[in-house]
Amino acid sequence: MDFYDLFFYLSMGGGLLMAFALGANDVANSMASAVGARAITVRQAVLIAALLNFVGAVLLGSQVTATISKGIIDPTAITDPRVMTLGMFSSLLAAGVWVLVATLTSLPVSSTHSIVGAILGFGFLVGGPEVVNWLKMGGIVMSWIISPFFAAIIGFLVFSHIRKTIFVSHDFIRQSKKWGAIWMALTCGLIMISFFYKTPFGERLDLSLGAAAAVCLVVMAAAWIVTRRGLEKLVPDPAAGAEGVEQVFRKMQIFTSCYVALSQGANDVANAIGPVAAVYVLAKTGMLATKAEVPIFMLVIGGLGIALGIGLLGHKVMATVGEKITTLTNTRGFAVDIGAATTVLLASNLGLPVSTTHAAVGAVTGVGLARGFKAVDFGVLGRIVIYWVLTVPAAAFTSVLIYRILDWIVS
């Protein structure tokens, strides 16, 4: 077995570790609002996320191409394929270990920023500061500030609207049926836009803006009609009061959670498997590439890793995001989902490397603040922010350390 074959098999193990950590942390925190609001149990969240993430990764994520260096370093500036092989393997291990450490301490971090930090550390070590795309790094730093604040504002506004139009009203049930159908139509529109422009399968459809808008409008109209009729049967008793309202939004939250799990599998599996694909290309051709198509068997391994991660350790991060920052109900959880999803969609289309983790935590905080400062545990929030700031330097330092040790062993 030569050097490249050996490190390809080792990288498969590293990719599985990264996928496991991604499932335990990133995927888990996206399901946290539904669990915290009691729309679904932890066991149901694990089953939904594991199954739909696997399906999303293997079916919708097929033929996804992974940017080898995440745009952080210029891979053509590192001309020795052995150095790039060692660097990608070191980056995978470093990012996976950091996300796993954060998971074991029950704190949500961005797996994307972990792999970015790890590749930055290795690239800086072997190529110097000139191979690093500092403009891209600046955008990532800006996203730490923009995405949580933006998601917090949207979550705050959505929940404030629900409270003003439904809970302050004299007729809870009639207003919840009216606004529940409208919010469901808007949610379906958001999901369709996200599907067309944020999943590899939707991008392959290559619909024009007009065609995509027409499909979205049809889906929104259908969702409004179906929801109106469904809510008439679901909440027939006007005396149901506030619990009847929560029942309406509970059903809507299950729907949004299923979509989040499916799209996350399609998109995020490349974070874990992208560097493995880089080593795979190097092992097969001995040449560097800026992008690589991820083979289906790697997506299967990535999907299995994500499913195992959320199944075994996902409950830790779910508890922090869904229960410890603020108390969530179904209406609040629904506002969190809308705030996080809208932020990720808008920021991504603007070219900002936004993190779903940061958006979800920001939206939870915004919804909590809608009930006042005392409703938010700023101690928990402070520990989360410290881990966000530490993610890039910690992953970079670990990557450098692993690379140095491996380089010494194989030299």
Q: Residues 253-280, buried b or exposed e (16+ Cβ, 10 A)?
A: bebbbbbbbbbbbbbbbbbbbbbbbbbb
Q: How much is the pLDDT for 133?
A: 83
Q: How much is the pLDDT for 64?
A: 47
What the block records as the tokens of 301 is 């391994």
Q: How much is the pLDDT for 322?
A: 84
250: amino acid identity, one letter:
R
Per-residue pLDDT of the chain (411 residues; tens, 9 = 90+): 778 888 888 888 888 888 898 888 877 777 787 887 788 887 888 788 778 777 776 766 554 445 555 567 777 777 788 888 898 889 989 999 999 999 999 899 988 888 889 989 988 998 888 888 888 788 777 777 788 898 899 999 999 988 888 887 777 778 887 888 888 888 888 778 877 776 666 777 777 888 888 988 999 999 899 888 887 776 656 666 677 778 778 877 887 777 667 666 666 666 677 777 777 777 777 666 666 667 778 778 887 888 888 888 888 888 888 888 988 888 888 888 888 878 877 776 666 666 778 888 999 999 999 888 888 999 999 999 999 989 999 999 999 999 999 999 987
d(CA 235, CA 259): 24
d(CA 275, CA 88): 6
Q: How much is the pLDDT for 274?
A: 74
d(CA 317, CA 272): 19
Q: How much is the pLDDT for 101?
A: 93
CB 22 within 8 Å of CB 306:
yes
CB 32 within 8 Å of CB 360:
yes
d(CA 271, CA 72): 14
Q: What share of the chain is helix, strand, coil (3-state, %, to 5)?
A: 80, 0, 15
Q: How much is the pLDDT for 8?
A: 85
106: left (phi over 0), alpha (psi -120 to 50) or beta: left
E strand intervals along 152-209:
none
| Number of other residues whose CB lies within 10 A of the CB of residue 240 | 17
- Taking the alpha carbons at both ends of the chain, their separation in whole angstroms is 17
Q: How much is the pLDDT for 221?
A: 93
d(CA 155, CA 147): 12
Q: At how many degrees (to 10) do helices 209-234 and 241-285 cross?
A: 140
d(CA 303, CA 402): 26
DSSP per-residue codes, 316-353: HHHHIIIIISS---HHHHHHHHHHHHHHHHHHHHTT--
Q: How much is the pLDDT for 51?
A: 80
Dihedral over Cα of 224, 226, 231, 236: its sign:
positive
Q: How much is the pLDDT for 384?
A: 92
231: left (phi over 0), alpha (psi -120 to 50) or beta: alpha
Q: How much is the pLDDT for 353?
A: 60
